[in-house]
Amino acid sequence: MAEYWSTLDVDLHLAVDPASGRRVGLEHALREAIRDGRLGAGTRLPSTRTLAVELGLARGTVSAAYDQLVAEGHLVAVRGSGTHVAELAGQGVPSGLRAAPRSSDSLESLDALGAPSALGLPSTSGLPSAWVGEQARSRPKPLGNNLLPGSPDLSHFPRAAWLRASRRAVNQAPNDAFGYGDPRGRVELRRALAEYLGRARGVLADPERIVVVSGAVQGLALLGQVLGGVVAMEDPYIPLFHEVVRSHGAEVVPLPVDDDGARVDLLAGPDFDQVGTVVVTPSHQYPIGSTLHPARRQALVEWACEGRRLVVEDDYDGEFRYDRQPVGAVQGMAPERVVYLGTASKTLGPGIRLAWMVLPEPLVGPVTEVKRHADHQSESLGQLTLAEFIASHDYDRHVRAARLRYRRRRDLLAERLHTRAGRPAAGFALGGIAAGLHALVRLEPAGMTEVEVLKRASEFDLELEGLGGLWHTAPANALASSAARPQGIVVGFGSPTEAAYPRALDALVRTLSWR
Amino acid sequence: MAEYWSTLDVDLHLAVDPASGRRVGLEHALREAIRDGRLGAGTRLPSTRTLAVELGLARGTVSAAYDQLVAEGHLVAVRGSGTHVAELAGQGVPSGLRAAPRSSDSLESLDALGAPSALGLPSTSGLPSAWVGEQARSRPKPLGNNLLPGSPDLSHFPRAAWLRASRRAVNQAPNDAFGYGDPRGRVELRRALAEYLGRARGVLADPERIVVVSGAVQGLALLGQVLGGVVAMEDPYIPLFHEVVRSHGAEVVPLPVDDDGARVDLLAGPDFDQVGTVVVTPSHQYPIGSTLHPARRQALVEWACEGRRLVVEDDYDGEFRYDRQPVGAVQGMAPERVVYLGTASKTLGPGIRLAWMVLPEPLVGPVTEVKRHADHQSESLGQLTLAEFIASHDYDRHVRAARLRYRRRRDLLAERLHTRAGRPAAGFALGGIAAGLHALVRLEPAGMTEVEVLKRASEFDLELEGLGGLWHTAPANALASSAARPQGIVVGFGSPTEAAYPRALDALVRTLSWR
């Protein structure tokens, strides 16, 4: 989903006051946005042309404003890589948090309201009052070429089968299903999941140790509250996930990633000696697409066991592997040291908000307690429906059909990029394993930059996400510095409908075949 | 949507002020409802006969009021199709949870795990590792006599109607309903709620200002995070609610309650001078059962407006009033100073985890942002189903039938306690207004204590809740000290099935007829 997986096209509301003249007004608005952190250090600004079009200003006006702010030290212009917010220009919002547009002046009016002002979340202080939905509404609709990652093909949600399962579930439910219940979730679903996760993902799952949550976001929020301390999270990774853990009480340090998955070797180093928990995507790193090397899996488990530490395994798309049998979950190697986090968001759809954690025994009580304080329990009827859906093997059938569909899509992507990309002046290569719903198109140094690709994509009405917004800079971790960063495009081949996919691929090929 | 309005089964809150005479009062109330948009253009009004019965007025009074408003142009009467609001007439604009037992030693074992130990939540440090489900498992099953508060009669969950609405909702849903969406919730539900809350509860609700949450617990958790500071909450009140607000970043001070509701007068005193937010149950105090006195409603709103403070109105059972028309929400008096918190937990069931907040504009952005960090958004399919359920007026019909049912139960409770309680050596009296799903049996000093009643109830296999567990002692607040506390039993007459209720009442009468 677009809002989740931030792109370089930062959505930013700039209230340009026409009274002070357009150029001066724009300069002022940009300066304010940098100062109050809506434009964080390192953020790449839109091209002068793009911003001019968006604001309805002359391109020269925007260029002049950029030049002025470069001269002031607020911005930095780098040939071939555009204009960025200078590193010390402001107190940045966490990287990758899409600065949402500010609808009016709501923080001012919140103060005016006199409400006790502390916004609980560190990451939202000085933050936008606007939100995804408004953003989506106010932005012109994409014209159908959408290769953004984060979503399966929603047109394949199994409506009829789901309704059948729902009817059986609601008709058979005991009365207490409609009341308050166990914060861990319905036992019917926990039993079905224990069986499914055991056979499909090699997870050692006892229904008593499963907590059903409303999506992976909630799982991470609850773990942040219970575990606290210092949590290492992969870099690059989904910015919202870093934010969620941080805003629920833990300190987050970024852990670099390469073609063999998370750099587990670094955990022994001085930058990570306070780390008590590490969050990883071993089956299919998001967004790089690598799988955790067997030696690193072993090292990870040893690190956890020896130091009595914890691994959180985000197995968001473990069902989808196309080149071989899926690798089993790390959890199966050390169920007392690994929290397994799975979800129906990629197999069915994020809208049903069903995910699950399999916990080491000592965490069951504390996680259940914070879940009770968060929302008492997840909604029952969806849980009973999913339990039916799994028990009837409709879930297996659905996953199998989806696996075939997405495998064909990835094959088509590879074929189009390798054999038909015309005369690619921009060097690129398809990275990552054949799995999941996304692939990384790596951009080689000689070719187009991410910014150039994204800009060109927009000319073909193609929505793409660059790697750029998924990095988490931290001074403590030199390895994640931007110098060492590869450039790439995260292609979400799962998102379009079947009918739209070939057209979207055409647009991608044309985008990459420039010059 | 003509068909939307064509049924007469519309719940409309009309605050008829008897001081100005019945006809004039009704005219005024209708005029106000039309002006502020609760009665939208084209809405068909109930027949004069129906409205007369519902309001307890003579039919002639209602006819005269309708005639007057037709004369004024607010209404239009069309032969054979009833009376409608004229096209240009206006500009539209949980309770009862029990504290879980604390059990054993999981925190120790968490330490043994070596996981970073800080439990994020202040209130859970040293807290329970146990939870409701375990409680249910480890406790002997009740033998059917259950008068615990907090739940409606779950056997009346409208399974068939809900499944019909669900089928329509899932079949008609756009694909994006299965994906990530607006953290505020589905717009279909927010629109339906705005309309419903306006006419049924006198809430001024704009769909843009509604945030759908997964139960009142989550609503309070999000508000705790956003507002922080010092929050006054009624005492007695649901312990979990105090804990939730506290564990999400606010300090909680208890606000005493008497037979006129919350002691709003105390807010001006020194114990409350840091308070920025107060959480109250104005329609029907939980658990005392009083309604907030009109003078205190006024004082509460003044307190909020003058000090630029905030009121959170927990309207958990506002639909259920048996002695007269429900009193409208306080929110209607000051929508910029009041957060309205409503829920489907009492009307349908807590298991569907659907509640809603209507927010002052400046809070919409920050609350949406913390919701996004909590679980991104509530589950979509239940929201779409409830939207359908409301729009089809199945919800009104269901609430009306439930109201009749619970009214009869409360009448029966009053009758049994007043006329058949044998020789009550324990003095007691039924307190609170005729409303909701619970009533307070006050125990007089000369009679049995709470502990004695609860002990004796267990001999009759009767589950009851005493007031005792609902107090929040705080040294800062001498008024809530135990010396001044009344003793009582909170009788949840909504919980049993129809068949079980008479037997449960028998057990209650025998319990109270001791000696």
* Predicted local confidence at residue B67, as pLDDT: 84
How many H helices and E strands in chain A?
15, 16
Q: What is the rounded CA–CA span in Å between residue A16 and residue A495?
A: 35
The contacts of residue A114 (CB under 8 Å, 6+ apart) are: B276, B307, B308, B309, B310
Q: How confident is the model at residue A371 (pLDDT cuts 50, 70, 90)?
A: very high
**From the CB of residue A478, how many other CB atoms can be counted at a distance below 10 Å?**
11
CB contact burial A194-209 (16+ within 10 A = b; e otherwise): bebbeebbbbbbebeb
Inspect the interface and report whether the beta carbons of B113 and A362 lie closer than 8 Å. yes
Backbone phi and psi for residue B36, each to the nearest 5 degrees, phi listed first: -90, 10
Inspect the interface and report whether the beta carbons of B176 and A162 lie closer than 8 Å. no
Q: What is the rounded CA–CA span in Å between residue B156 and residue B263?
A: 36
A207 to chain B, any CB pair closer than 8 A? The answer is: no
Q: What does the DSSP assignment read for A117-181? A: ---S-GGGTT--S--HHHHHHHSPPP-SEE--SS---GGG--HHHHHHHHHHHHHH--GGGGS--
pLDDT tens profile B331-358: 999 999 999 999 999 999 999 999 999 9
Which of B119, B187, B375, B465 is the mutation pick for testing A, counting most A CBs within 10 A?
B375
Q: What is the rounded CA–CA span in Å between residue A318 and residue A297?
A: 15
Distance from CA of B267 to the nearest CA of A (A): 16
Interval B370-374 mean pLDDT? 98
What residue has token string 């106000």?
B32
Tokens representing A19? 């009274």
Q: What is the rounded CA–CA span in Å between residue A2 and residue A469?
A: 12
Q: What is the rounded CA–CA span in Å between residue A173 and residue A9?
A: 47
Interval A106-121 mean pLDDT? 35
Tokens representing A176? 């207490």
Inspect the interface and report whether the beta carbons of A120 and B348 lie closer than 8 Å. no
Among residues of chain A, what percentage have pLDDT more than 90? Answer: 62
What residue has token string 């509640």?
B355
* Predicted local confidence at residue A231, as pLDDT: 98
Give chain B's length: 515
Per DSSP, the three-state class of B140 is: coil
* Predicted local confidence at residue A135, as pLDDT: 32
Q: Which candidate, B206, B254, B251, B253, places its Cα nearest to that of B227?
A: B251
What is the Cα A413 distance to its own chain's centre?
22
* Predicted local confidence at residue A368, as pLDDT: 98
Distance from CA of B331 to the nearest CA of A (A): 15
A116 to chain B, any CB pair closer than 8 A? The answer is: yes
Q: In what order do the strands lie in the sheet with B210-213?
A: B210-213, B355-358, B338-343, B310-314, B275-280, B230-235, B251-258, B261-262
Tokens representing B277? 């937010």
* Predicted local confidence at residue B105, as pLDDT: 32
Q: What is the rounded CA–CA span in Å between residue B261 and residue B257?
A: 5
pTM: 0.77
Torsion angle of C-alpha atoms A468, A470, A476, A480, degrees rounded to 10: -50
Q: What is the rounded CA–CA span in Å between residue B33 and residue B103?
A: 52
Q: What is the rounded CA–CA span in Å between residue A253 and residue A94?
A: 12
A 19-78 residues with CB below 8 A of B?
Answer: none
A191 to chain B, any CB pair closer than 8 A? The answer is: no
Inspect the interface and report whether the beta carbons of A362 and B136 lie closer than 8 Å. no
Could you tell me where the DSSP H helices lie in A353-449? Answer: 361-375, 380-391, 394-419
User: Is the pLDDT reported for residue A238 higher than 70?
Assistant: yes
Tokens representing B116? 């970073």
Inspect the interface and report whether the beta carbons of A348 and B178 lie closer than 8 Å. yes
Q: How confident is the model at residue B280 (pLDDT cuts 50, 70, 90)?
A: very high
The contacts of residue A305 (CB under 8 Å, 6+ apart) are: A334, A337
Inspect the interface and report whether the beta carbons of A221 and B375 lie closer than 8 Å. yes
What residue has token string 């202080």?
A125
Among residues of chain A, what percentage have pLDDT more than 70? Answer: 80
User: Is the pLDDT reported for residue B420 higher than 50?
Assistant: no
CA angle, corner B205, sides to B203 and B211, nearest 5? Answer: 115
A67-76, A334-343, B467-476: segment of lowest average pLDDT: B467-476
* Predicted local confidence at residue A197, as pLDDT: 96
**From the CB of residue B282, how many other CB atoms can be counted at a distance below 10 Å?**
27
Per the model's pLDDT, the better-predicted residue between A8 and B448 turns out to be: B448
Per DSSP, the three-state class of A355 is: strand
Contact residues, chain A, for B184 at CB < 8 Å: 131, 133
| First and final C-alpha spacing in chain B | 63
DSSP lists the bridge partners of residue B390 as: none
Q: Evaluate whether B55 touches B63 at the Cβ level (below 8 Å).
A: no
DSSP lists the bridge partners of residue B465 as: B490
Tokens representing B107? 């925190």
CB pairs under 8 A between A and B: 359
* Predicted local confidence at residue B144, as pLDDT: 61
* Predicted local confidence at residue A473, as pLDDT: 66
Q: Is the peptide bond before A236 cis (omega within 30 degrees of 0)?
A: yes
Backbone phi and psi for residue B231, each to the nearest 5 degrees, phi listed first: -115, 125
DSSP lists the bridge partners of residue A435 as: A321
User: Is the pLDDT reported for residue A115 higher than 70?
Assistant: no
Tokens representing A409? 């899509």
* Predicted local confidence at residue B75, as pLDDT: 86
Contact residues, chain B, for A134 at CB < 8 Å: 182
* Predicted local confidence at residue A405, as pLDDT: 97
Inspect the interface and report whether the beta carbons of A351 and B177 lie closer than 8 Å. yes
Query: Within 13 A of A438's CA, how many CA atoms are on the CB side?
Result: 30
B161 to chain A, any CB pair closer than 8 A? The answer is: no
Q: What is chain A's mean pLDDT, rounded?
A: 82
Inspect the interface and report whether the beta carbons of B129 and A180 lie closer than 8 Å. no
A117 to chain B, any CB pair closer than 8 A? The answer is: yes
A290 to chain B, any CB pair closer than 8 A? The answer is: no
Contact residues, chain B, for A373 at CB < 8 Å: 121, 123-124, 217, 221, 240, 243-244, 247-248
B494 to chain A, any CB pair closer than 8 A? The answer is: no
Backbone phi and psi for residue B261, each to the nearest 5 degrees, phi listed first: 90, -160
Could you tell me where the DSSP H helices lie in A8-149? Answer: 22-35, 48-55, 59-72, 106-113, 132-138
Could you tell me where the DSSP H helices lie in B248-393? Answer: 294-306, 361-375, 380-391
**From the CB of residue A46, how many other CB atoms can be counted at a distance below 10 Å?**
21
Among residues of chain B, what percentage have pLDDT more than 70? Answer: 81
State the DSSP code for B426.
S
Q: Evaluate whether A90 touches A116 at the Cβ level (below 8 Å).
A: no
Q: Evaluate whether B321 touches B465 at the Cβ level (below 8 Å).
A: no
Distance from CA of B127 to the nearest CA of A (A): 8
Among residues of chain B, what percentage have pLDDT more than 90? Answer: 62
- Region for residue B234 given its phi and psi (left: phi exceeds 0; alpha: psi -120 to 50; beta: otherwise): beta
Q: What is chain B's mean pLDDT, rounded?
A: 83
Reported ipTM: the value is 0.78
Contact residues, chain B, for A272 at CB < 8 Å: none
Contact residues, chain B, for A150 at CB < 8 Å: 180
Per DSSP, the three-state class of A335 is: coil
Q: Which candidate, B216, B221, B196, B222, places its Cα nearest to that of B207?
A: B196
A71-80, A470-479, B198-207, B405-414: segment of lowest average pLDDT: A470-479
Distance from CA of B427 to the nearest CA of A (A): 33
Q: Which candidate, A34, A45, A37, places its Cα nearest to that of A74?
A: A34
Inspect the interface and report whether the beta carbons of A107 and B380 lie closer than 8 Å. no
Q: How confident is the model at residue B2 (pLDDT cuts 50, 70, 90)?
A: very low
* Predicted local confidence at residue A143, as pLDDT: 52
* Predicted local confidence at residue A44, as pLDDT: 82
Q: What is the rounded CA–CA span in Å between residue B278 and residue B255?
A: 9
* Predicted local confidence at residue A260, as pLDDT: 95
Q: What is the rounded CA–CA span in Å between residue A288 and residue A236?
A: 8
Containing B188, the helix (H) or strand (E) segment is helix B187-201
The contacts of residue A469 (CB under 8 Å, 6+ apart) are: A5, A6, A7, A8, A95, A96, A98, A239
Q: What is the rounded CA–CA span in Å between residue A304 and residue B115?
A: 10
Q: What is the rounded CA–CA span in Å between residue B370 and residue B423?
A: 56
**Environment class of B79 (CB within 10 Å of its CB; exposed 0-12, middle 13-18, buried 19+):** exposed
Q: What is the rounded CA–CA span in Å between residue A366 and residue A311?
A: 17
State the DSSP code for B367.
H
- Region for residue A422 given its phi and psi (left: phi exceeds 0; alpha: psi -120 to 50; beta: otherwise): left
* Predicted local confidence at residue A286, as pLDDT: 96
* Predicted local confidence at residue A386, as pLDDT: 98
